[in-house]
């Protein structure tokens, strides 16, 4: 449940009085009792669809139509943003479709598209943490799946816990997005940090771009740390246990940017990088217990 500005909310419920089976439906005008609005057609926009029978299984994946959020393709058990389109087939699984969802025609809808005026972006990874850890992921520290979230609990005040996934493309054009809440901060630690990271594990060493909320002493800031330096922007409070934090890291060639939307404030910061192409991306936490709701990675192949 998740997003505004970059993200928005919708509760998807069936209701009576709508169109019958075979009739048109959309996010606001759902189907009559006994029918489900199929919003996941391959050539659809995620906003409009066709009413289909609740008790059928048109894609043959073993999920009844009324329990399947991707009726046009196998999969569709989960719907992170509750917009009626499943994570497996959603062009932006963290937000309801906009009025003009895909301005550049690359099938990544805003606000998931880091370059809405440049075609070529693709969602290469989305994880809503509803099941077990996917194959191929790397874990450092303590990470536990709990009911649609993954909880990071670093073992001490100095260890940086990371949960990263391999990336399918070798490119420096990418974005990493996540949403999280804070449960606890280690008040005795010299630095607390929660956010996202993109890592290139080169034979000669590790190059990383890290974007997150930092607390050092009594001061909070949005921190962007790369292999060429670091940049920070002060924030009032990035470790409020009553707040939700949405963070996005973008890499474009040798330029990186880090942006944060908190409940009461927002901001961004930029910094150059060494130009390495990350091989994995994921989440990190140091000296704080954090609950992440999702991880999204968008990549664009090199020109």
Nearest to 213 by CA among 192, 242, 197: 192
Question: Does 279 lie in the same domain as 133?
Answer: yes
- Whole-number pLDDT of residue 8: 30
Q: From CA 136, how far away is CA 127, in angstroms rounded?
A: 13
- Global model pTM greater than 0.85: yes
What is the domain-level CATH number for residue 176?
2.60.120.200
Question: Does 279 lie in the same domain as 177?
Answer: yes
Question: Does 130 lie in the same domain as 270?
Answer: yes
Q: From CA 139, how far away is CA 129, in angstroms rounded?
A: 14
Nearest to 110 by CA among 46, 64, 184: 46
Question: Does 28 lie in the same domain as 173?
Answer: no
Question: Does 218 lie in the same domain as 129?
Answer: yes
- Whole-number pLDDT of residue 203: 74
- Whole-number pLDDT of residue 1: 40
Question: Does 153 lie in the same domain as 98?
Answer: no
- Whole-number pLDDT of residue 30: 80
- Whole-number pLDDT of residue 42: 64
Structure tokens at 301: 């192949």
Question: Does 275 lie in the same domain as 187?
Answer: yes
- Whole-number pLDDT of residue 17: 57
What is the three-class DSSP state of 198?
strand
Answer whether 284's CB lies under 8 Å from 165's CB.
Answer: no
DSSP per residue, 219-231: EEEEEEEETTEEE
Q: Residue 70: which domain range? A: 1-107
Structure tokens at 256: 């990186």
- Whole-number pLDDT of residue 236: 96
Q: Which regions in the chain score pLDDT beneath 70?
A: 1-17, 42-44
Question: Does 201 lie in the same domain as 176?
Answer: yes
Question: Does 290 lie in the same domain as 178?
Answer: yes
Q: Three-class SS string for 170-188?
A: CCCEEEEEEEEEEEEECCC
Counted domains in the chain: 2
Q: From CA 206, how far away is CA 208, in angstroms rounded?
A: 6
114 occurs within a structural domain: no
Residue 252 exposed, middle or buried by CB count within 10 Å (0-12, 13-18, 19+)? middle
Question: Does 283 lie in the same domain as 148?
Answer: yes
Question: Does 129 lie in the same domain as 98?
Answer: no
């Amino acid at each position: 449940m998740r997003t505004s500005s970059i993200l928005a909310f919708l509760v998807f419920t069936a209701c009576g009085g709508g169109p019958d089976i075979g009739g048109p439906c959309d996010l606001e005008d759902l189907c009559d009792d006994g029918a489900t609005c199929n919003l996941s057609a391959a050539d659809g926009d995620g906003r409009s669809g066709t009413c289909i029978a609740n008790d059928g299984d048109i894609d043959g994946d073993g999920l009844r139509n009324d329990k399947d959020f991707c009726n046009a393709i196998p999969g569709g058990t989960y719907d992170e943003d509750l917009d009626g389109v499943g994570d497996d087939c959603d062009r932006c699984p963290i937000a309801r479709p906009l009025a003009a969802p895909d301005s550049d025609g690359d099938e990544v809808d805003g606000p998931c598209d880091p370059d809405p005026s440049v075609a070529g972006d693709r969602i290469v990874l989305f994880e809503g943490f509803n099941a077990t850890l996917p194959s191929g992921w790397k874990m450092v520290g303590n990470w536990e799946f709990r009911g649609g979230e993954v909880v990071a609990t670093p073992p001490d005040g100095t260890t940086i816990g990371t949960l990263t996934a391999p990336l399918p493309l070798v490119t420096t054009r990418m974005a990493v997005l996540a949403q999280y809440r804070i449960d606890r901060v280690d008040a005795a630690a010299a630095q607390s940090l929660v956010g996202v990271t993109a890592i290139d594990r080169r034979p000669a060493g590790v190059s990383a771009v890290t974007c997150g909320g930092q607390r050092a002493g009594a001061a909070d800031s949005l921190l962007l740390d790369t292999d060429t330096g670091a940049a920070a922007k002060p924030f009032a409070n990035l470790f409020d246990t009553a707040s939700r934090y949405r963070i996005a890291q973008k890499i474009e060639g040798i330029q990186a940017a880090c942006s944060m939307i908190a409940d009461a404030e927002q901001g961004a910061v930029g910094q150059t990088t060494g130009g390495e192409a990350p091989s994995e991306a994921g989440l990190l936490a140091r000296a704080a217990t954090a609950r992440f709701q999702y991880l999204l990675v968008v990549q664009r192949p090199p020109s």
